[in-house]
Chains A and B, each alone.
Chain A
Amino acid sequence: MQLIRPDINIDFIGKRKIALTISALMILVSLGMLAVKGLNFGIDFTGGTLVEVKFDKAPSIADVRSSISPKGYGNAIIQEFGSPEEILIRVQNREGEKSSTISTAILDGLSEKFTADAVEMRRVEYVGPQVGDELTQAGIMAVLISMLAILVYVTFRFEFRFALGADAALLHDITIVLGLFAITGKEFSLPVIAALLTVIGYSLNDTIVVFDRIRENFAANRKRKTPADEISVVNGSINQTLGRTLMTSFTTLLVVFALFFLGGEVIHDFAFALIAGILVGTYSSIYVASPVMMSLAGRFKSDEDEIKAMEARP
């Protein structure tokens, strides 16, 4: 079976303006949503307490709230988590309050109202304000450092313009995935950062495969003189690798969807970030990385000087 015909020849570079317009729009919407609505940061970053409990039969949110109100947590965020029996309770950190008292008080309040046997502690997480700040910094550092490391590696293995093209595609992917988190209001937690870094690795994986082919074709085709020649080589390379790009994305999506639907509530948002990242990453490795790489090399300028300058090069 072969879905992508071997002689396929789509003019990806020719359609770069349409693609870049779409990308620019998606990035603008993402940045806008990030600025206006912002991310729904989880307690990993804001600090706070999270208590997940399972009831033997589904309680009403109002009952849960009234059971912890006497303990002073009436303003907690209470929501269903995966199933109606499972409830997530979130409380902000307050000045001068000890972590041990919060979760204990909440669990006590619940077992007083619903009897101890009817409520089961599933998970308690507490992140102090200081740790929240540290985790935020570590997360930002991780994303920046991996982008830098990749820039260095790709420059070393290819050329600097390839590296810039790859990083442009990465920034594109991360921005859009973050935008999706802002739009959907899904919780942005530590595992989501891990997913983002994986998306970075994955998107780059796709881009590298295309770049590798471009490099190979450049080497095989030394006679290329005009920018038009180069564009056709790049286009040919994207087409040659198209089958692989789509197949790999497809197999990876298969497993990530399995994770999304079967992996359980705890890992749900993580899988969501991966799905979004793989889709956007596949798109960007085809439509963003190479055009950016080419335009950084000034290959889309048609004036004579540029061509002459290129011809003058050894």
Chain B
Amino acid sequence: MHSFPRWKIWMILAVLAVSIMASLPNVTSVPSWWPASLSHPMSLGLDLKGGIHLVLDVDVDKAVSHSVEEDIDTARQTLRKAKIRYRKLAVDGNHLIITIKKPGDISAAESLLNETFNNYTLSPAVDNTFTLVLKESVADETRKFAVDQAIEVIRGRIDALGTTEPVIVKQGKQRILVQIPGYEDTAHAKQLIGRTAQLEFKLVDEKGDLDKALSGSLPAGDIIMYGPEQTRSGKSYRQPYLLKKRTQLSGTEIADARVSIDSRYNEYAVTLKFNSKGARKFDKLTAAHVGERFAIILEGTVNSAPVIRERIAGGSAQITGGFSPAEAHDLAIVLRAGALPAPVKVVEERSIGPSLGQDSIDQGMNSIIVGCILVLIFMAVYYRMFGMVANVALIFNMLLILAAMSIIGGTLTLPGIAGIVLTIGMAVDANVLIFERIREELHLGKTPLAAIDGGYDKAFSTIVDANITTLIAAIVLFQFGSGPVKGFAVTLSVGILASMFTAITVTRAIIATSTAKRGRIEKLSI
């Protein structure tokens, strides 16, 4: 006891110094020469800062079936080129079903399909019909790619909102976590994120008979699509269009999209600029089809179908549709950021208004302060001088938690504050254990110094066992918890570890140095 190692005292002082330095950025701004690793304040969780928290589920199977649908076009072209006639081309989930007309073509078709579709498993023809099944590894790759691409697209859209430090990360296999701190308009954010923004240009089938097509006899290679919902003489109505199935140009060929004013009607519009490949295609398309109409299809709805008056070489097009300024602005954002490779759905939302966040901070701080004061008073009354020592350790503990949270870049959440409050109660537990043990030793008739030594030594293994079990619960909580609950697990764990240091090492150092100066001690103030 008399010889409390010097180096331990220096270590405690060093920890104290680092803790103070690391805690400081939370209170005030630090000078530029401050060590970088100690210059970050603790970040506040969304539940304290306010903002939007969304978990999106990407419909990855749609991305797979979409890619299979694209392959059917490839199949059509390949078979035509090889002059193999087919009776049926169909998609069923991740299957391509191809029926060949003449049995004589079977072997040629088989080798051709084998060569073209190495992403598929081809089984021998049954009744002239080949079934190609997309390989599971390829499908998985497509799913993964869809999620990654969706993240990029969503990031582009959210960046356009101009908020600071949004979080967009993958969660699990097909989910995306989106956090936008400090943004209040949840409806707008969800609308912006959720849009697929699929943009397609298709030619209108001018020769086809729309009425016939509507009654069931659709010309081969054609498709019927509808315009936006309108109300005409009290009835809601959507204009049908007979279009060529093939997509001539899509949103992937857009380089830029800006809000503009359509000079003819003086209304808001979005001007698209194609990239070089898109511009070439658009040039060719307009040159070959002057006098025909082409349809601009946005998210499955025919936005408009203007007549091509002349060849358009500049590589830009305009979308109109009676937009409000905000609608035009949003449309430009989503077209610029690109289309989502697959639809996304919000599966979880937790949005906090700024006033609730501030209230939570205030109430949380009040609980910490009041809880802390109550414990400080109690310890001082119940254990007198030793209680005061424990109180110094408790304050050190709070400082250490703040410092550790700042250094590891932890996020403080409302349950995290609760974890700190709980730590206050549990941090003094180690001291209660030690002090009760010292009292017992005194009761057994030991000298004060021997009682202190005995108390610390005997309580040590108990403290370790008791804290490790709480730590186990906290770690499990961290593994299984989500968001705010994780914050609770983090502060609780940090608090427990910090308390083992402050309650054991720090109190002992204080007691050792103060008893060493006084020489013989008759009575302990405990």
Contact = CB atoms under 8 A, between A and B. Distances in A.
Given A107-B187, A123-B351, A205-B467, A142 B425 contact: no
A120 B194 CA distance: 24
A283 B458 CA distance: 24
A126 B203 CA distance: 42
Interface in B210-258: none
Given A99-B346, A142-B476, A248-B429, A254 B371 contact: yes
Contacts of A243: 436, 439
A153 interface: yes
Interface in B317-360: 345-353, 355-356, 359-360
Contacts of B363: 262-264, 267
B199 interface: no
Contact of B480 (A123, A139, A266): A139
A98 B346 contact: yes
A311 to B, nearest CB: 30
Contacts of A1: 381-384
Interface in A163-203: 190-191, 193-194, 197-198, 200-202
Contacts of A307: none
A41 B200 CA distance: 46
B489 A125 contact: no
Interface stretch (B60-68, B146-154, B416-424): B416-424
Contacts of B348: 126-128, 131
Interface stretch (A24-32, A59-67, A143-151): A143-151
B81 to A, nearest CB: 44
Query: Binding site of B, secondary structure by majority: helix, strand, loop or mixed?
Result: helix
Interface residues of A, number: 76
Q: Which of B415, B468, B479, B480 has the most CB of A within 10 A?
A: B480
Given A103-B349, A205-B467, A258-B374, A193 B485 contact: yes
Nearest to B430: A248
A100 B418 contact: no
B422 A130 contact: no
B473 A146 contact: yes
A103 B186 contact: yes
Interface string A272-292: 001000000000000000000
A3 B436 CA distance: 11
Given A52-B356, A122-B352, A208-B465, A100 B432 contact: no
Contact of A259 (B184, B367, B443): B367
B466 A150 contact: no
Contacts of A194: 415, 477, 481, 485, 488-489
B422 A209 contact: no
B353 A266 contact: no
B462 A209 contact: yes
A270 interface: yes
B474 interface: yes
Contacts of A208: 462, 465-466, 469
A264 B440 CA distance: 41
A213 B458 CA distance: 10
7 contacts: A103-B349, A121-B351, A131-B348, A142-B476, A154-B469, A244-B436, A256-B421
Given A251-B428, A254-B425, A274-B422, 12 more contacts: A99-B345, A121-B353, A128-B348, A153-B469, A190-B484, A205-B429, A247-B432, A255-B422, A256-B371, A263-B366, A264-B363, A267-B360
Interface of B: 47, 55, 57, 184, 186-187, 190-191, 194, 345-353, 355-356, 359-360, 363-364, 366-367, 370-372, 374-375, 378-379, 381-384, 414-415, 417-418, 421-422, 424-426, 428-429, 432-433, 436, 439-440, 443, 458, 461-462, 465-474, 476-477, 479-482, 484-485, 488-489, 492
Interface of A: 1-3, 6-7, 52, 54, 98-100, 103-104, 107, 120-128, 130-131, 135, 138-139, 141-142, 145-146, 149-150, 153-154, 157, 190-191, 193-194, 197-198, 200-202, 204-206, 208-209, 212-213, 216, 240-241, 243-244, 247-248, 250-256, 258-259, 262-264, 266-267, 270-271, 274
